[in-house]
Each structure stands twice: as C-alpha cells, then as structure tokens.
Amino acid sequence: MRVSRYLIPTVRENPSDAETVSHRLLIRAGMIRKLAAGIYNYLPLGLRVIRKVENIIREEMNRAGAIEILMPMVLPAELWKESGRWDVYGKELLRFKDRGGREFCLGPTHEEIVTDIVRKEVRSYRQLPLNLYQIQTKFRDEIRPRFGLMRGREFIMKDAYSFDADDEGAERSYQAMYEAYSRIFSRMGLKFVAVEADTGAIGGTSSHEFMVLAESGEAEVVTCSSCGYGANRELAEVAGKEIPFPSGDGIPRPEEVHTPGARTIEEVSSFLGVTPDRLIKTLVFTTDKGEVVVAARGDRTINEVKVKNHLGASWIELAPDEVVRSVTGASTGFAGPLGLSVPVLADFSVLEIQDGVTGANRDDYHLVHVVPGRDFAPQAVSDFRLIEETDPCPRCGSAISITRGIEVGHIFKLGTKYSEAMNAVFLDRDGREKFMVMGCYGIGVGRTVAAAIEQNHDDDGIIFPITIAPFEVIVLPLNMKHERVREVAENLYEALQKRGVEVLYDDREERPGIKFKDADLIGIPFRVTIGEKKAEKGMVEVRKRETGETVDVPVEEAVERIVEAIREEYVRCQGFWKE
C-alpha cells in the first residue's frame, strides 16, 4: 500500500479527551475517530488491526470445532421478555419501537437469540454438542463510555454459545474454549492470565476471565507462579479460615471510652494508641436482602463481592449515613458489632483479635476490651476480605503477586439458566426430553486491540506484535526525488509484495523526520530505510521497531533477509509461520 494513496491521518498532539495510552495512540496513529460518545469510525489502519485480531479468533474457534453464524443486531423484545432480561437489564439495553409500535433493542449479547435458533433447529442428542459463534457489532448504552475502544458503547465482539446434552459435555466444551482462548491470546503475542471470576449479571455457575497484563488495567489480578493459580482479586480466596474464637481469658468487660471526632481506623488507632490490627472495623451495607453489618480486622479490606455472594444478593452498597444511624444509632465512624438487631458477618481476621477496640454505636465513643464471640456473636464467620500481597496462595501456600490486567475475554458455564427459561429441550438417548446445558464465551475485539497497545508501546508510539500489526514492513525512502533511492524503494516494494509480505510504502515527499515519526507511531514491526548514501553503495537499513536494532543489508539480499526476519518474528510470536 502506498501511503500517498492511503488514509493515515496521524496527529502530533494528544487528544484532550483521551485518558489512556491506547486511546491516545489509536487517535494519534489515525486508526480511529470518534463519531459520538463511545462510538467510533475505524479508519483503514485501525480496521486492518481489527481484522487481524478477528482472523486469529476465527481460526482458533474453527479449530476448536465452533461454527460461525451471524445474528442480527436489532433484536425483538419478545425473546428478551421470555428470558426475563427485558426488565432486569437496565438502561444499558437500548430499546426502541419500529413503525408498527413493536418493541426492539440493540443486541448487547445474544443468549436469547441463539437459544431460540437452537431450540427450533435441534431436536436430538445426536445433534449435540453444538457451539455457535459470531463476530459482530454490539451495543451497550454505557453511562460513561471512555478510554476509546476499551469501553465503547458500540463495539465488535466475538460471542460463542455451546449446547450440550449433559454437564460432562458442557465441561468439555468449556475446556475446549479455555484452550482456544489461551491459543488466541498467545498467538497475538500478549502476556495474559486466565483467572477465576465472578459470574455477575450473565449468571451461571463458574467463569474465567482472560486478562491482558498492563499497568493501566482496571482490575486487580492475583497470580501464583508456583502452582499457576490465578484469580480476580475480588474473588481470590484468603487461606487460613480455620482459627478458633479467642478465649477472652483475663480480658476485662468492654468499656466505653470517649473518642471525639475519631472515625477512621487511622484516627482511632492514633487517638487510643493501639495498632490497627487490634481494631474491629465495622461497616454497614444495604443490599436487596436487607441491611447487613460486616466486621473485619482494622488493617484488612472488606470485600463486598464476597459478602454479596454469601448473602445471595444481587446488589450491595455501603450504607448512606441515615441508614447507618438507623441500624447503629450513631453516625458513620462509630459502628461496632455489639448489640445490633441486623445480621453481623465477621471476616475470620476478627478472630485474630484477643482484646479489641470497636465503635460503641454512640457518637464520639468507642469500646475497648472487646472479645469476639464473648461480646458479640456473628451470624457467620468466613472469608469476607480482599486478599493482600502478604497472604499466601490459597492453593499451594506460596507467595502470590497482585498485578493489574485488562479483561479481554470471559468464558461462562451457564448451566440450564437460559434453556429452562426458554424451554430449549432435546430428546436424549433414553427418549426423555431434557434441557440443554449451555456455556457462553466472549472476546472484545476492539478491547483486545486497545489492551495490546496498553501492553506494547513506548514514548514514540505503538509496538504491534507482528501477528496483529496492520502491515509487516514499512519501506521508507528518505528522499523521493533522488532517482536511485526511489528506484530501490519501488523495486523493494514490488518484490516484497510478490513474496506475500504486507508492505506499507511511504512514498510521500515528506521530510525524513516526519516519516520516521509516523512509522514509529503506527507501530509497524520492521522498517526498511533507503537513504542516498547507502543506496549508492547498494545497501538499505532494516530496523526492528520493538528493539530499535538496525542492520545494513545489500539491496540484492534485502527481500530474502526481510522475509526471513518476518518469519522468525511470527514463529517467536505465535509458534509458527503464517499459513
């Protein structure tokens, strides 16, 4: 592709509304342009990257036995009402009516639609298992779309849905997708981990998230290098639950002390001169199952997701001041677990406290000499806190690390949630009608591109792994007016294309500095520079974007040497040369 005939509108300045590296670089490299909040045009270079990502996904989904289909983006309300999600999905579901007054929505996900296809077309166990997928545009009316392709309202997604006759089959389908996803992100040259995750709004029994590791990631990921354990920090279990209640031997009865204005753990611990690990932190939450009070050791962080899951609640929020007052009789900052009428849950870290301090449920007062078990009886003692970097691996006891990651893929075991709601049944071997057991599997295509950039960039721009780069090589003549330079460049451009190399040819009559800056910004893995002096001597310079290494190569060997370098890079990135 000749740059002079192409559309790569690079920008020097950072766009003012772009908060993340990938957002800035995608705009600056001329790959995307915003049309409306969370809605983007994909310009030629950006679309090439999107297509590369899609093709790797498609190849690996096909290899795993999944079958590609395409469902509509405009979906009738009836199916969403059948599953019950029309009412619970909230405002992210963009609803509208057609000219006949019939209700529709823009598809944010397609469980209902694919279940409808399968229940109509599949009757017998002989037709199972079945895994159908699509790569398609979705719409979620996010309240705060931001970060460019990371959290758009309209976005391209690969979504797959598996249907099996029984749980064992569903487990095999899930494993096949787990392995396919691992191959997909490996082939893209990305550092990633698969972690156990919350099933959230999609529902179902278990799930894994595939996280691309990047400092800018929105989620915290716990990993163990000894045993390979990985979990979203919100879900990571904390080991060591089996500790007894403290004896309370020799500890006096609780006593009120005046602690004017001391509300936070830091304020109370410095006011009373006790370390935070002797404080019993007590928080009041509101949930759809009512109010609940949760206690933990003062230096620990209460994990709302674990509390929510323990209660079987669908939402949880820190209680506002007026609710704290109605539950405890005091303002926020003076709550304690003693003498309350709502359920008290205790993280097991509380049992490590022999002689504790906690709120007195009275403004400006705390209680000292509080003994868990003796002075208050929690309804449940369990793991209700966030894992810390100092905690051991819950599987093997080794040290863990906590890093940040960007979720690019999510796989779920759905069980029979949708097949029961929508009566998706088949006739089994024994002639009985049974519900299909489902799984669903998503990859955010644009999000993967953004995550790849978050992980692979430097001050000059993007450093694309070769398998998803828009082009493999950029041929960059320094002076188009110089006859020998132009001749070498033109010949190289033609010859590389004949060898099947994807070449971008910067044939613009621009200054070298501008061409170099653009080449670095758009992240093409190899650059071939043709300068006057070297061209006269029959040499060109080959430079690797990632490392900056350069090597001078004779013109007559250039094509073979470049093809070889590209081949090596593919093998390094994905384990094999492109097909």
Interface residues with Zn ion (CB under 5 A) are 224, 226-227, 229, 393, 395-396, 398
Closer Cβ to Zn ion, 398 or 550, answer by number:
398
Please report, as a single letter, which amino acid is at residue 168: E
Residues found in the chain: 579
Among 229, 315, 281, residue whose Cα is nearest residue 385: 281
Task: Quote the distance between the C-alpha of residue 404 and its chain's center.
Answer: 10
Distance separating alpha carbons of residues 494 and 507, to the nearest angstrom: 13
Distance separating alpha carbons of residues 444 and 287, to the nearest angstrom: 31
Q: How far is the CB of 237 from Zn ion (least distance, A)?
A: 11
Q: How far is the CB of 205 from Zn ion (least distance, A)?
A: 23
Q: How far is the CB of 177 from Zn ion (least distance, A)?
A: 24
Residues 6+ apart with CB under 8 A from 345: 292, 293, 294, 295, 307, 310, 378, 379, 380, 381, 382, 384
Closer Cβ to Zn ion, 394 or 439, answer by number:
394
With residue 177 as reference, give the H or E element that holds it: helix 167-187
Q: Which residues, in sequence order, are bridge partners of residue 105?
A: 75, 95
Q: How far is the CB of 171 from Zn ion (least distance, A)?
A: 23
CA-CA-CA-CA dihedral for 422, 423, 424, 426, to nearest 10: 180
Closer Cβ to Zn ion, 224 or 387, answer by number:
224
Closer Cβ to Zn ion, 393 or 443, answer by number:
393
Q: How far is the CB of 398 from Zn ion (least distance, A)?
A: 5
Q: Which residue has the tokens 């300068």?
A: 531
Decide the pairing of beta strands 192-196 and 206-213: antiparallel
Please report, as a single letter, which amino acid is at residue 569: E
Q: How far is the CB of 241 from Zn ion (least distance, A)?
A: 17
Task: Quote the distance between the C-alpha of residue 199 and its chain's center.
Answer: 13
Closer Cβ to Zn ion, 117 or 239, answer by number:
239
Q: How far is the CB of 228 from Zn ion (least distance, A)?
A: 7
Closer Cβ to Zn ion, 226 or 550, answer by number:
226
Q: How far is the CB of 508 from Zn ion (least distance, A)?
A: 54
CB 124 within 8 A of CB 43: no
Identify the DSSP state of 471. Answer: -
Closer Cβ to Zn ion, 224 or 501, answer by number:
224
Please report, as a single letter, which amino acid is at residue 438: M
> What radius of gyration, in Å, describes the C-alpha atoms of the chain?
29
Pull the structure tokens for residue 465: 């792994």
Closer Cβ to Zn ion, 225 or 264, answer by number:
225
